[in-house]
Structure formats: C-alpha cells, structure tokens
Amino acid sequence: MNRRKGIFLVITGAIFWGIGGTVSKKLFQEFEIDVNWLVTIRLLIAGFLLLTVQYFGKNRSQILGVWKNKRMAIQLIIFGLLGMLAVQYTYMASIKHGNAAVATLLQYLAPVMIIVYLIFRKQTVLTRRDLLTVSLALIGCFLLLTNGSISQLSVPTLAIVWGILSGLALAFYTLYAVPLLAQYDSLVIVGWAMIIGGVALSFLHPPWQMDFQTLTVEAYVYLIFVIIFGTMIAFWFYIESLQSLLPKESSLLGSIEPLAAVLTTVYWLKEPFGYFQWVGTACIIGMILLLALNKTSSSTTSQTPKKEEPLRVS
C-alpha cells in the first residue's frame, strides 16, 4: 500500500469517527434511541464484521486460536468488559448528556492520563514536553467546560463526568491491549472485545427489545452510518493505514477526529459553542499534535511496537 492511500484511509476513518459521534447525538435527541441499546447493537454488529474481515484475510486461525490459551482468553474477556465496553458506553453516555464535541475532546485526554500514570509508576520521567502537554490539556478543558466563566459550567455535569470516565477507560484500554496485540492481530482482539462487550450489555438491554416500527427511514440511515461507517469501517481504515504509515503519522492525521466532531456539532446540530470553547478546543488539538509529533517517542508508545499502537474506539 502506498503512502497516499494510507493518508487517505486514516483521514477518512478519523472523519467517520468524528461524525459518527455527532450522528449518535442526533439519534438520542430526535429519535429517543436508548444509549444502552445503541452501544449493544453497535458493538455486536461491528465486532462481527471485523471478525468477518479477518476470516477472509490472513491468519483466520487466530479467530478461534485466541480462546485456546486460557491466560489470553481471560485477558481478552477483561479487555472486552473493562476496556472496550467501558470506552464505548462512557463515550456514548457523555454524548447523550452533552454533545459529541465535548465527549470526543474529553476522551482525547487519555494520552495525558497515561503520561501521568507512567510517571507515577516511575516507568518514565517528567519532561518539558510532558509539562507542556498536561498544561495544554488542563487549560483546554477549563475553557471548553466553562467557556471562560468560573461561576458556571457551559456543559452539563453528567456529560463531564462521563467524558472524563471515557478518557480513563481509553487509557486503561490502551495500556491493557499491549500483551494481547503482541500475539494476535488487531482485528481479532478488537472484534472479539466488541462482541464480549455487546453480549455483556445485552443482559441490561437485549438488542431485540426495540420498537423498530417507530423508527423512520432517516433513523435507520443514521443507525447504519454509526455502526458501519462510524465504527467498523473507521477502525478498519485506521488499521489498514498502518500498513504504509508510521504509527506517529497515523496519530497525527487522526487528530482531525475531534475537529470533525466539533464542526458537525456546531454547524449541523446547531449546538452553541462559545469563543473560549473554541480556544479550549485548539489547546486540546494542539496537545494531540504535540504528542503525535514527538520524534523521541512519547511515553505511550516508547514501550509499544508498531503492532501495539493504541487503537481508536470512539
């Protein structure tokens, strides 16, 4: 695969991810779709499609082979529940109570949380770049959530709580995935993790408990976009881009995701977004770019080979 195709894939995938969050908000607002049901159906279908892609590609034996190792099977179940399901649910809950822009930007605090964790565990040392990264993240969050006013929040409290939990879940997801991805293909691990998370959430809200007759054609189009484009294809494109791009390059180009979420939230859903929130958004995107452009390998990737690059899941 040539570099031009890789660049196209990662940018397209990032745009799909960003827009997918905004479309989910549309489903919550106008069609009163239950967040539990949407996360369940999204995980089950996307996970099945990812494993299908693996089946028709290379190493199809890994699909069942991962379950033959008891230790890895237990780790995969933990990853599916505390990693994949936690990330997906908290992200969608943040969107439901707030909007896709804020949810996406708060989730992108995960790299900063990983840096703080690794410094606390003494697995890395604090650098000037780390200080600048954390400072940008904190300033960006303050402006994003307050719009410059310390007397009140510009975003619902529940949206903030779920958004921060989403960042924490993504940090755990990223770190816990390392040993799994060292032995098995990304599509296998993420595909099974999605199915595990979807099956677990089915006990709370079975996917068949939905009044499908009340959904309009427009609602079905949005659902298809969220499941196929905003989840399955977006992730697949990102993984494929790593065939011709360095992980650092894919991460850099992928920073268009929060920008896509912000623009579609403001101009399509007509959500209010103040001047200081735009400045906060710029700070957080600047933090993402700073991490991606780190030529000396950031704390999140210094211990991770190319195959173990943190995966996108929003």
- pLDDT (tens digit per residue) in 191-210: 999 999 999 999 988 888 88
Alpha-carbon distances of 291 from 38, 141, 241, 242, rounded to whole Å: 32, 17, 19, 18
Question: In the chain, what percentage of residues exceed pLDDT 70?
Answer: 87
Asked if residue 243 lies in contact with residue 6, where contact means CB atoms within 8 angstroms, the answer is yes
Burial class (CB in 10 A: 0-12, 13-18, 19+), 120: exposed
Residue 19 confidence class, pLDDT cut points 50, 70, 90: very high
Asked if residue 228 lies in contact with residue 21, where contact means CB atoms within 8 angstroms, the answer is no
Q: What is the pLDDT of residue 218?
A: 94
Name every residue whose Cβ is closer than 8 Å to that of residue 73 and which is 6 or more positions away in sequence.
66, 67
Asked if residue 189 lies in contact with residue 177, where contact means CB atoms within 8 angstroms, the answer is yes
Q: What is the pLDDT of residue 251?
A: 60
What is the per-residue pLDDT across 133-152, written as a single tens digit (0 to 9) for each?
A: 888 888 888 888 888 776 77
Q: How far apart are the first and last CA of the chain?
A: 25
Within 13 Å of residue 203, how many CA atoms lie on the same side as its CB? 4
Residue 131 confidence class, pLDDT cut points 50, 70, 90: confident
Residue 1 confidence class, pLDDT cut points 50, 70, 90: low
Alpha-carbon distances of 311 from 24, 98, 108, 136, 139, rounded to whole Å: 20, 24, 12, 23, 26
Flag whether pLDDT at 311 surpasses 50: no
The mean per-residue pLDDT over the stretch 275-293 comes to 83
Look at 306 and 108; give whichever has higher pLDDT: 108
Pick from 30-34, 121-125, 170-174 the range whose average pLDDT is largest.
Answer: 30-34
- What's the pTM value of the predicted model, to 2 decimals? 0.82
Average pLDDT, the chain: 84
Tokens of 144: 């994003």
Hey, what long-range contacts does 295-301 have (CB within 8 A, 24 or more apart)?
295/248, 298/111, 298/115, 298/129, 299/114, 299/115, 299/118, 299/119, 299/123, 299/124, 299/130, 300/111, 300/114, 300/115, 300/118, 300/174, 301/247, 301/248
What is the per-residue pLDDT across 47-101, written as a single tens digit (0 to 9) for each?
A: 999 999 999 988 899 999 999 989 999 999 999 999 999 999 999 999 999 888 8
DSSP 171-240: HHHHHHHHHHHTTS-HHHHHHHHHHHHHHHHHTTS-TT-S-GGG--HHHHHHHHIIIIIIIIIHHHHHHH
Asked if residue 280 lies in contact with residue 143, where contact means CB atoms within 8 angstroms, the answer is yes
The number of residues in the chain equals 314
The mean per-residue pLDDT over the stretch 18-37 comes to 92
